[in-house]
Structure 1
């Protein structure tokens, strides 16, 4: 996988188990890069991710997260995909059981309605989706620390959405070095490429590569 920012003539070969950190010192330049990447704008000031065969990686296969506090394990795309997986599992492995439960529910409603002093009708359960919706399935996230929430999010993005890459903005401002290393460990295990955009330099770790884009837009790498 390669990362390209055309406006800086920057091309970086992304490596497994290595986190590339891009320090953009000019706030306006940093804002342009982030907004253009999020909006997939027709601009040279955005991050492009490219497969080794030269094909662009579609935006559905990576995500740019501007703040760790907006992360939700129950985002529409994650939860929606998980519910589809549950539906597929029921269809493939438990369809007879589903039909049996459906019949029991219909019989229960028939008996309950007979006890009423008025006429009322109901619609049968037509689809497995109807049952899943009733159950209000969610991922537990209320009691998680920030680190736990981010690592769980990476795990779900990998297993459910098959994401290849996650880009974080200023994440080092919210996690200490030990927490950052635990986060990296989970990402490496899940085969998710991490990219960091930071507004200031950080202390380099062994698994990190630093690319500084200074105020004059010169690039310093180490």
Structure 2
């Protein structure tokens, strides 16, 4: 799978870790706007090719706009979690679920029976409704260091959403050089593909990180 943009001349293979440093501020703003728009399903300058066919960026990449806004309980992840739990119920606890469903519907019908306004209930309860009602979610410690949270988030995104790559914006500056090497090494060991779009560079994780630079004069270095 190859990612490119109409404003540069190189192709990025969606495999392993890639860092794109854009020192020209005008181009940097354009790139951020395009990746944000296209991951929201809108038009932009990026093209993603898989086996000679263009594919939607929004269906293949997962965007982390800010490390401080991440949550392992965002809607997409939770929906996948509920689907997994639903499968567990169907395979081993479906009889118990049907018993619970009958009990809940019977209770609700008793409550509304004497109401002066005509009321009715749906004929069934979806399995996912039980998890939503009880607020099932991942345990999330927002007091953790942001770097620990980034790694935890990456692991859960990969396990539940399985994107072709996670795209990070403005992340490198949060790390010391040693922390960066440890973080990228962990991503590599877990086979998580990542693209880091940065304004400025820093130390490179040798052997596992590919770097592309567009300088102030729009010259490309890679």
Do they superpose with TM above 0.5?
yes
Shift of 1:31: 0.8
Question: How far, CA to CA, are the matches of 2:3 and 2:114 in structure 1?
Answer: 65
Question: How far, CA to CA, are the matches of 2:190 and 2:14 in structure 1?
Answer: 16
Partner of 2:93: 94
TM-score, length of structure 2 as denominator length: 0.81
Q: Which moved more, 1:70-79 or 1:34-43?
A: 34-43
Partner of 1:81: 80
Partner of 2:173: 173
Q: CA RMSD in A?
A: 2.6
Question: How far, CA to CA, are the matches of 2:46 and 2:220 in structure 1?
Answer: 15
Question: How far, CA to CA, are the matches of 1:50 and 1:155 in structure 2?
Answer: 25
Unpaired segments ≥5 residues, structure 1:
none
Shift of 1:75: 0.9
In structure 2, the CA distance between the partners of 1:13 and 1:197, relative to structure 1 (3 Å rule), is same
In structure 2, the CA distance between the partners of 1:3 and 1:94, relative to structure 1 (3 Å rule), is same
Q: Which moved more, 1:180-189 or 1:77-86?
A: 180-189
In structure 2, the CA distance between the partners of 1:13 and 1:127, relative to structure 1 (3 Å rule), is closer
TM-score, length of structure 1 as denominator length: 0.81
Query: What secondary structure does 1:7 align onto?
Result: coil
What is the 5 A alignment of 1:1-222? 1-16=1-16, 19-40=17-38, 42-43=43-44, 46-51=45-50, 53-58=51-56, 59-103=58-102, 109=107, 119=114, 126-141=125-140, 142-206=142-206, 207-221=208-222
Question: How far, CA to CA, are the matches of 2:186 and 2:99 in structure 1?
Answer: 41
Query: What secondary structure does 2:132 align onto?
Result: helix
Shift of 1:189: 3.7
In structure 2, the CA distance between the partners of 1:101 and 1:194, relative to structure 1 (3 Å rule), is same
Query: What secondary structure does 2:7 align onto?
Result: helix
Shift of 1:73: 1.0
> How many residues end up aligned between the 2 structures?
210
In structure 2, the CA distance between the partners of 1:184 and 1:195, relative to structure 1 (3 Å rule), is same
Query: What secondary structure does 2:12 align onto?
Result: strand
Query: What secondary structure does 2:216 align onto?
Result: coil
Question: How far, CA to CA, are the matches of 2:183 and 2:200 in structure 1?
Answer: 20
Unpaired segments ≥5 residues, structure 2:
none
Say whether the 8 Å CA contact 1:158–1:190 is kept in structure 2: no
